[in-house]
A and B are shown apart, each in its own frame.
Chain A
Amino acid sequence: MEAGGEIFHDLFDLWNFWAVIVMIIVCVWLFHHSLRYRSSDGKTIENDSDHFTPGVFPKENDDLRMELAWTIVPFILIVYLTFVAWGPLDEVWSADENAHEIGVTASQWNWNFDCGDLDADICEVSNIDVEGQTRPLLRLKAGESYMFNMTSVDVTHAPFFLDWGIKEDTVPGLITRLHYTPSVDEIGSSLLMCTEYCGKDHGYMTAVVEVHA
């Protein structure tokens, strides 16, 4: 298993690719210029074309074409990346109309899952031991699509579905939603943690989500 869902990893790999390219350009440029144009002994000034004098505004040093180049080229890259990041929003934010609805109620410092009248095969809640503490175990079926309707009774919490790479705050007085369809690749149990700071036992506010075939 690996933390983060498929959408995350596709985007992440693409971003890494461009990050490496940008970083290589910056580093090569930095090392080349800082070594090529250096003073040989730290005292001699080989090229003092701008000879600074205190209180005198120095000669201009610019080149509009170069400045425009590194305004426009990064802008194009940004537009491309934005376009790529735009795509998966539909999948993240729009739910299947026939999704099974599961209620999630957060409280300090517990998760409460409500399967409603769903079949035990589709959704079932029991208990599991996490480092000596009894925590809820939510069992779901791979290939089924789920909609989590979430709220909180006291302060803000946020369930982090580690294996799927999604999270959303549960806000008191508000119903927030998360939608996901676990695939057959995601069969197995993974930890669910709270990722919005909520007080003393925040770090131990866990649950386990199991996806079965």
Chain B
Amino acid sequence: MFSTLKKPQNIGIIAILLLAVVMAPSVTSYPHGASGVQDSGCACHGSQADGVTPVLDGLPNELTPSMTYTLNISFTGGPSGEDPNAAALGGFHLWVSEGSLSPIDGDDKVKINPDGSATHNGIDGEDVGTGNDQTSWQVEWTAPAEGGAKFTLHVNSVNGDGIASDLDDWNRLNAEVGPQPVEQASGLTVFASSILLMITIVGGCVVWVFYRENPDSFSWDYFVPWLSDWLTTTDHKKVGTLYFLSGFFFLGVGGLFALIFRIQLATPGNDFLTQDEYNQFFTMHGTTMIFLAAMPMIAGFANWIVPLQIGAHDLALPRMNALAFWLNPAAALLIFTGIFSGQGADVGWTGYAPYIVSHTAHSGATLWVAGQILLVASSTIAGINFMTTFCTMRAPGMGWMQMPLFSWSILVATLMLFISIPAFGIGLIQVLLDRTIGTVFYEVAAGGDPLLWSHLFWYFGHPEVYVVVLPAFGVISEVLSTSARRTVFGYKSMVFALAGIGVLGFIVYGHHMFTSGMSPVLRFVTMLTTMLVAVPTGIKIFNWLQTMHGGSLVYRTHTLWALGFLVTFTLGGISGMYFPAVAMDLHLHETYFVVAHFHYVFVGGIIFGLYSGIYYWYPKATGRMLNEKLGVMHFMVGFISYNLVFWPMHRLGIQGMPRRQHTYFITTDQYFALPAEAADWNMMITIAAFFFAASNLILVYNIVVSALRGQKAPNDPWGGWSMEWLTTSPPPTPSHDPHNLPVLQFEEEHDDGDPGLFGRWIQWMMIAEDGGEEE
């Protein structure tokens, strides 16, 4: 639609939208609205005049909670009383932020408005002697049970001609009583400063990178073209780099959140963070790590490696690819906006209804939801793009069953994401509408069902877990096979296991809801299906182990991470088998046992897998080798401290320490709670967490220093077979020559070069009859 408009029309539309955004807050007349009663809540007539002096008497110096006070309201000055036969003398409007107002018994001169404010009774010019024929009034105010209150008083001095006209005057008085909340910096100031700071830091980094790329012929003239090339690029490698950098940045941000609330949990009864802050921090930690760190990093790997690996010159839809990426920074800004104003989302990454639509949830949750909707759009676009690429752009000779396993894992993952994420999008839009325009999807009083959100969320949320872990499986398959100099054991069963996990992932989500009030039949069914997940996962683990058989394992940093992954991921998989047993889950649900389990899968599985991938593909991407000594140091410190952080959490969970709680309770004489040792374990976890965070700095240092001074990398430094190793390091653009695409060769005779029944079926499903491919 917009493409058909001319530029001035576009600017006009934007101007109208901006005006509407600016106007919108002052339209509301709620006392707590953005502009509030102080500005527009008084139906005063005439103009504001200094000559009119409002007086509010009867407020105490020391406020007694819940006590009732009699307030005297009066005014002097203005045109009031100048006419000896005045039809009316004046009026008032008193608004109070806390406590309640009521008229004195038998007093008909004052009335209480529906919003709780008080005003005079009667209409100008009528009934001499009623509420509007006064210059003073009395009203009772009952103080709140705790805290102080703010008063806003409007008085109107009326000339008595019986007409509400410009000849009258009014004025305003603000008063406060009792303890007031501490003055905070305006959210806008904090937000603006944060953005300025971020722009400065990011800008500095960008300029430094620009300088370092060509320090000898440095010239500002090339800066703008260089920058706009990065910002508008549709090349899969550059978009992949952008994805990866943003994901890596948010991995650091999410880690900082974790470190801060680990300090809070180091000792019982700590008050390092307020409860409000703690709730925001664990929410943002989860959201950041999954949606802004893990997903973009995986997308970065997929962007970089998939076209290279399947012998394509780029992704099928390069501009869609850039769009999918650029939705991410916008989403991140929205998600974090609440934090800058002190009202960040405090709903947990699961955002359970009805809390998320209740008035007790922070206002930042609205923008948190809006940001997630953008991420849903981004994932959907990326999903279309990758599936099209896999279906249409595999190199000549590469059937479905000859795709490298990393590509297979990305295919299954995007397919799962594409099928599951609409449910999440629907839920998010419902919540956004509930929070903004007052629909009642999750309003229980109006018949809304809180469990609907849980179903929509987990129908997406459980496949999402596999969406992020499957690419890590793919990386490990590539790395172990290359390092062991052996074809991955049981290639076909690996593919079927991936597909099996992809199917099972959709029918197990009920295990997140074993204690949610969901129907026992569904609980029972998902108990059976969840148990089954162990089978395909087991096949993969045993296949990886057997891959090393008869090989010649070359120990590199990526090999170490892959072996470490096998240990931690197996532990995470085994601890996952404790939950489907419903009777056991009743105890373990929402305790630290769950936290330990999913961190063993997310960190020990996904992050270790991605680290392995970084060390494996960094030479291909940059043309430089990473420093192996630093890499081994990163692995040693990281692997040990990681286990010290998350292993004790199993024990804490069994002892009954619940997650998402601001503190924890140790057994006293009065009652049994956590044993005293829980405090020691928590302190140890916090200390180890700092070591784990520090180990990642080694990786950052290694990446930066190796980019500047690393050894030049050959085309195939590790001796892998897949097609990315055919290209130079770093690969040219386009990645493979589109007019001379590589053709997959075969080491031995094979009889399945032509697509089988399944392959033909997918081909039929995905590609139109008339060929579909270009021209």
A interface footprint on B334-371 (CB within 8 Å = 1, 0 otherwise): 00000000000011100011110010110000000000
Asked whether, in the complex, the Cβ of B716 is within 8 Å of the Cβ of A54, the reply is: yes
Q: If A49-B550, A53-B721 touch, does A15 touch B586 (CB 8 Å cutoff)?
A: no
Tell me, yes or no, whether B767 is within 8 Å of chain A by CB.
Answer: no
Asked whether, in the complex, the Cβ of A158 is within 8 Å of the Cβ of B485, the reply is: no
Asked whether, in the complex, the Cβ of B450 is within 8 Å of the Cβ of A167, the reply is: no
Tell me, yes or no, whether A47 is within 8 Å of chain B by CB.
Answer: yes
Q: If A27-B567, A70-B538 touch, does A171 touch B450 (CB 8 Å cutoff)?
A: yes
Q: If A33-B545, A169-B517 touch, does A11 touch B584 (CB 8 Å cutoff)?
A: yes
Residues of A within 8 A of B413 (CB): none
Stretch at the interface among B35-43, B142-150, B487-495: B487-495
A interface footprint on B291-315 (CB within 8 Å = 1, 0 otherwise): 0000000000000000000010000
CA distance A194 to B658 in the complex (A): 8
Asked whether, in the complex, the Cβ of A12 is within 8 Å of the Cβ of B491, the reply is: no
Asked whether, in the complex, the Cβ of B570 is within 8 Å of the Cβ of A202, the reply is: no
Tell me, yes or no, whether A191 is within 8 Å of chain B by CB.
Answer: yes
B residues 491-521 near A (Cβ < 8 Å) are 491-493, 515-517, 520
Tell me, yes or no, whether B255 is within 8 Å of chain A by CB.
Answer: no
**Residue in contact with A67 in the complex, picked from B490, B527, B743, CB distance below 8 Å:** B490
Residues of B within 8 A of A93 (CB): 520
Residues of A within 8 A of B485 (CB): 39, 45, 47-48, 50-52
Asked whether, in the complex, the Cβ of B577 is within 8 Å of the Cβ of A15, the reply is: yes
Asked whether, in the complex, the Cβ of B563 is within 8 Å of the Cβ of A11, the reply is: no
Tell me, yes or no, whether A120 is within 8 Å of chain B by CB.
Answer: no
Asked whether, in the complex, the Cβ of A12 is within 8 Å of the Cβ of B654, the reply is: yes
* B534 to A, closest residue via Cβ: A78
Tell me, yes or no, whether A162 is within 8 Å of chain B by CB.
Answer: yes
A residues 167-206 near B (Cβ < 8 Å) are 167-169, 171-174, 176, 188-191, 193-204, 206
Asked whether, in the complex, the Cβ of A4 is within 8 Å of the Cβ of B490, the reply is: no
Tell me, yes or no, whether A60 is within 8 Å of chain B by CB.
Answer: yes
CB distance from B379 to the nearest CB of A (A): 25
Asked whether, in the complex, the Cβ of A131 is within 8 Å of the Cβ of B269, the reply is: yes
A residues 24-61 near B (Cβ < 8 Å) are 26-27, 29-30, 33-34, 37-39, 42-61
CB distance from B595 to the nearest CB of A (A): 12
Residues of A within 8 A of B534 (CB): 74, 78
Residues of A within 8 A of B566 (CB): 26, 30
Asked whether, in the complex, the Cβ of B555 is within 8 Å of the Cβ of A199, the reply is: no
Chain A CB within 10 A, most for which of B516, B520, B555, B671: B671
CA distance A93 to B660 in the complex (A): 27
Residues of A within 8 A of B542 (CB): 70
Asked whether, in the complex, the Cβ of A189 is within 8 Å of the Cβ of B744, the reply is: no
* A128 to B, closest residue via Cβ: B670
Tell me, yes or no, whether A116 is within 8 Å of chain B by CB.
Answer: no
B interface footprint on A57-71 (CB within 8 Å = 1, 0 otherwise): 111111100110011
Asked whether, in the complex, the Cβ of B549 is within 8 Å of the Cβ of A33, the reply is: yes
A residues 148-168 near B (Cβ < 8 Å) are 154-156, 158, 160, 162-163, 165-168
Residues of A within 8 A of B551 (CB): 37, 47
B interface footprint on A104-147 (CB within 8 Å = 1, 0 otherwise): 00001000000000000000000011110000000000000000
Q: If A12-B654, A54-B726 touch, does A129 touch B670 (CB 8 Å cutoff)?
A: yes
CB distance from A20 to the nearest CB of B (A): 9
CA distance A168 to B513 in the complex (A): 10
CB distance from A46 to the nearest CB of B (A): 5
**Residue in contact with A23 in the complex, picked from B269, B570, B656, CB distance below 8 Å:** B570
Asked whether, in the complex, the Cβ of A202 is within 8 Å of the Cβ of B672, the reply is: no
Residues of B within 8 A of A98 (CB): none
Stretch at the interface among B102-110, B224-232, B700-708, B745-753: B745-753
CA distance A108 to B515 in the complex (A): 19
B residues 671-704 near A (Cβ < 8 Å) are 671-673
Asked whether, in the complex, the Cβ of B726 is within 8 Å of the Cβ of A55, the reply is: yes
Q: If A67-B493, A130-B671, A131-B665 touch, does A57 touch B578 (CB 8 Å cutoff)?
A: no
Asked whether, in the complex, the Cβ of A190 is within 8 Å of the Cβ of B671, the reply is: yes
Residues of B within 8 A of A204 (CB): 275, 662-663
Tell me, yes or no, whether B391 is within 8 Å of chain A by CB.
Answer: no
* A210 to B, closest residue via Cβ: B671
Asked whether, in the complex, the Cβ of B355 is within 8 Å of the Cβ of A92, the reply is: no
Asked whether, in the complex, the Cβ of A45 is within 8 Å of the Cβ of B552, the reply is: yes
Residues of A within 8 A of B275 (CB): 200-204
Asked whether, in the complex, the Cβ of A196 is within 8 Å of the Cβ of B577, the reply is: no
Tell me, yes or no, whether B240 is within 8 Å of chain A by CB.
Answer: no
Tell me, yes or no, whether A22 is within 8 Å of chain B by CB.
Answer: yes
* B587 to A, closest residue via Cβ: A165
CA distance A190 to B590 in the complex (A): 18
Q: If A37-B484, A82-B531, A167-B515 touch, does A160 touch B658 (CB 8 Å cutoff)?
A: yes
* A7 to B, closest residue via Cβ: B583
Asked whether, in the complex, the Cβ of A30 is within 8 Å of the Cβ of B532, the reply is: no
Asked whether, in the complex, the Cβ of A52 is within 8 Å of the Cβ of B721, the reply is: yes
**Residue in contact with A61 in the complex, picked from B488, B517, B580, B583, CB distance below 8 Å:** B488
CB distance from A31 to the nearest CB of B (A): 9
A side interface size, CB within 8 A: 100
Residues of B within 8 A of A38 (CB): 552-555
CB distance from A47 to the nearest CB of B (A): 5
Residues of B within 8 A of A8 (CB): 583-584, 586-587
Asked whether, in the complex, the Cβ of A199 is within 8 Å of the Cβ of B355, the reply is: yes
**Residue in contact with B574 in the complex, picked from A22, A46, A82, CB distance below 8 Å:** A22
* B536 to A, closest residue via Cβ: A71
Q: If A3-B654, A74-B535, A203-B661 touch, does A62 touch B491 (CB 8 Å cutoff)?
A: yes
Asked whether, in the complex, the Cβ of B487 is within 8 Å of the Cβ of A188, the reply is: no
B residues 262-310 near A (Cβ < 8 Å) are 269, 275-276, 278-279
CB distance from B391 to the nearest CB of A (A): 19
Asked whether, in the complex, the Cβ of B723 is within 8 Å of the Cβ of A54, the reply is: yes
Q: If A26-B570, A50-B486 touch, does A85 touch B747 (CB 8 Å cutoff)?
A: no
Residues of A within 8 A of B663 (CB): 203-204
Residues of B within 8 A of A61 (CB): 486-491, 547
Tell me, yes or no, whether B465 is within 8 Å of chain A by CB.
Answer: no
Tell me, yes or no, whether B128 is within 8 Å of chain A by CB.
Answer: no
Residues of A within 8 A of B719 (CB): 52
Asked whether, in the complex, the Cβ of A82 is within 8 Å of the Cβ of B528, the reply is: yes
Q: If A49-B550, A55-B744, A189-B670 touch, does A200 touch B279 (CB 8 Å cutoff)?
A: yes
Residues of A within 8 A of B489 (CB): 61-63
Asked whether, in the complex, the Cβ of B581 is within 8 Å of the Cβ of A3, the reply is: no
Asked whether, in the complex, the Cβ of B582 is within 8 Å of the Cβ of A89, the reply is: yes
Residues of B within 8 A of A103 (CB): none
CB distance from A104 to the nearest CB of B (A): 13
* B556 to A, closest residue via Cβ: A42
Asked whether, in the complex, the Cβ of B517 is within 8 Å of the Cβ of A174, the reply is: yes
Tell me, yes or no, whether B715 is within 8 Å of chain A by CB.
Answer: yes
CA distance A66 to B402 in the complex (A): 22
Asked whether, in the complex, the Cβ of A37 is within 8 Å of the Cβ of B550, the reply is: yes
CA distance A27 to B545 in the complex (A): 10
* B721 to A, closest residue via Cβ: A52
CA distance A92 to B279 in the complex (A): 32
Chain B CB within 10 A, most for which of A58, A131, A168: A58
B residues 471-493 near A (Cβ < 8 Å) are 482, 484-493
Asked whether, in the complex, the Cβ of A60 is within 8 Å of the Cβ of B535, the reply is: no
Q: List 28 A-B contacts (CB under 8 A).
A: A8-B586, A29-B545, A37-B551, A39-B553, A45-B554, A47-B551, A49-B486, A54-B723, A55-B721, A60-B491, A60-B750, A61-B488, A67-B539, A70-B539, A78-B532, A78-B535, A85-B581, A89-B582, A91-B583, A155-B358, A168-B515, A171-B516, A174-B451, A174-B517, A193-B658, A199-B355, A202-B661, A203-B275
- A sample of 19 more A-B contacts (CB under 8 A), given A56-B745, A155-B355, is A26-B567, A37-B484, A38-B555, A56-B747, A57-B398, A62-B491, A71-B538, A71-B539, A85-B584, A89-B524, A128-B670, A173-B450, A176-B517, A188-B672, A191-B671, A191-B673, A202-B279, A203-B275, A203-B660
What 9 pairs between A and B have smallest CB-CB spacing? A165-B587, A203-B662, A85-B581, A203-B661, A3-B656, A52-B721, A61-B487, A54-B725, A195-B590
